[in-house]
Amino acid sequence: MGTILEMRGITKEFPGVKALDDVNLSVEQGEIHALVGENGAGKSTLMKVLSGVYPHGTYDGDIVFDGDVRQFRGIPDSERAGIIIIHQELALVPLLSIAENIFLGNERARGGVIDWRETNRRTAELLARVGLKEHPETLVDDLGLGKQQLVEIAKALSKEVRLLILDEPTSSLNETDSQKLLDLLLEFKEHGVTSILISHKLNEVSKVADTITVLRDGATVARLDCHQGVSEDEIIRDMVGRSLDDRYPPRDPKIGETVMEVRNWTVHHPLHAERKVVDDVSFHLKRGEVLGIAGLMGAGRTELAMSLFGRSYGRDISGEAWIGGRKANLSTVRRAINEGLAYATEDRKGFGLVLDDTIRRNVPLANLEAISDRTVVDPAREAAVAEEYRGRLNIKSSSIEQETVNLSGGNQQKVVLAKWLFADPDILILDEPTRGIDVGAKFEIYTVIRDLARAGKSIIVISSEMPELLGITDRLYVMNEGRFVGELPTPEASQERIMSMIIKSGGSK
């Protein structure tokens, strides 16, 4: 046995953010190596560097694979070397068969003509290796998620795989499918295949991993040898262990009466009607309160918020929402806005902004009535409003005539915020309000949140960054797999407590 992969001193910067800072990762031949860390710790970025998504030259540091320094320029380069990644979002074409998917771009063909007999024979072999009994001509669409995951692995095996990387492979699988997948990894290990497992589920990690590397804030903080016995608590401490310094504005909350109450809210997946994305969630919100919803990606937090905001997500929504002591009608976005609700999306480019339009035209979009006389827009009032919010939120731009597509992430986020502040809601739901923006802009957004709460508004913050939630909220709910699994006042909360709530609830299913 020797070292198959060594990543040395990897540093990767994005405009305004240092995503990876001198990261080291060393993987032994034939082991299962787990990579753990919070959302945004840099795990995915590191794997993108390794696989050539970020080509050689866009990062600093060396990748040594099989004893040679490699300079991958793209995924084909790294695949040729035998490094195969299976992403969290599956990359299968649903309306093609298993066999077609496995050999997509790598077809068994003679002179451009596909040899179907050979294709199906090889597919059957590969399926047998991953323990699937499906016919190679079955459409991927007809398989469950667990089996689709196995098809992905079979696809990886169809190439000469030397290092298999699985990014959150079990995040959308149930207990039995997860167990099967982990067993498969152990079986591959017997046959000498090395794998890197990226996972949030520490119970799974400690079950199968030989070595664990912990990343935090884009840096390597620990390398743990599992054969010497590692406890989950130890891993959690390494994952979250950082102090809260003055990255958050000081606050003195004045919390009033309950303004919103949601009871037994249940939402089903829009395509898979039998899947509950939000499962029997009840919560309340008080005047002047900043309420946090913690959880991992895919816990159902965005789905909860969007289903509340005018049924913008999901189907078969049931449950009641009470606002100001009355049962609220939230059946369309317009009605939700009229009930005093606002929702600033996590996906500001896809759902938040009309990117080709200027700041001036984006800011009043949710409240055009306020700048119009009987449906005729008053350009002077519009410009004044846009100018006011540009100043108030410190939106860095050449003028209000700048197109939002050309703004930085933080400033785009401020335009989305401005749009909702101008709509003057009583209850503001902010979904990942600081994702991908730099520290300075974060502080400005925290300040806006604090000032809103002080002015008597109620704010729900959804965030995957736990320190942020601990720094700016008054009370926290913890969400996992569609359910609220804990509630605690922020002063009593810690990252360790939140993490263990998530992990314990995950295992009890």
Interacting residue ranges for other proteins, rule: CB under 8 A: 309-310, 312, 332-334, 336-337, 343, 345, 350-357, 360-361, 365-366, 368-369, 372, 375-377, 379-380, 383-384, 387, 399-401, 419
Closest separation in Å from C-beta 415 to other proteins:
11
Nearest distance, CB of residue 329 and other proteins, angstroms: 14
Q: Which is nearer to other proteins, 286 or 311 (CB)?
A: 311
d(CA 199, CA 472): 27
Q: Nearer Cβ to other proteins, position 157 or 359?
A: 359
Sheet holding 3-14, edge to edge: 17-28, 3-14, 60-65, 68-70
Q: What amino acid occupies position 330? A: L
**Residue closer to other proteins, measured from CB, 105 or 350:** 350
Nearer to other proteins, 342 or 479 (CB): 342
**CA-wise closest residue to 79 among 163, 136, 186:** 163
Task: Give min distance, CB of 364 to other proteins, in A.
Answer: 8
Of 188 and 313, which CB lies nearer to other proteins in the complex structure?
Answer: 313
Cβ nearer to other proteins, comparing 176 with 398? 398
DSSP 482-503: TEEEEEEEGGG--HHHHHHHHH
Nearest distance from residue 428's CB to other proteins, in Å? 14
Nearest partner of 67 among 139, 3, 133, judged by Cα: 3
Nearest to 5 by CA among 223, 151, 163, 192: 163
Q: Rounded to the nearest whole angstrom, what is the least distance from the CB of residue 424 to other proteins in the complex?
A: 13
Find the distance separating the first CA and the last CA of the chain, reported in whole Å: 38
Q: How far is the CB of 336 from other proteins (least distance, A)?
A: 8
Q: Each residue of 447-476: b (16+ CB within 10 Å) or e?
A: bbbbebbeeebbbbbbbbbbbbbbbbbbbb
Spatial contact of 204 and 178, defined as CB atoms under 8 Å apart:
yes
| Non-local CB neighbours of 381 within 8 Å, separated by 6+ positions | 371
Which stretches within 87-133 are classed as H helix? 98-102, 116-129
How near is the Cβ of 317 to other proteins at its closest, in Å?
16
- Cβ nearer to other proteins, comparing 184 with 423: 423
Nearer to other proteins, 67 or 379 (CB): 379
CB of 375 to other proteins, least distance (A): 5
Tell me the closest approach of the beta carbon of residue 320 to other proteins, in angstroms.
Answer: 22
Half-sphere exposure of 26 (CA within 13 A, CB side): 10
Residues 293 and 433 sit within 8 Å (Cβ to Cβ): no
Whether the CB-CB separation of 303 and 270 falls below 8 Å is answered with no
The one-character DSSP state at 140 is: G
With respect to other proteins, which residue has the nearer C-beta, 375 or 508?
A: 375
Amino acid at 306: M
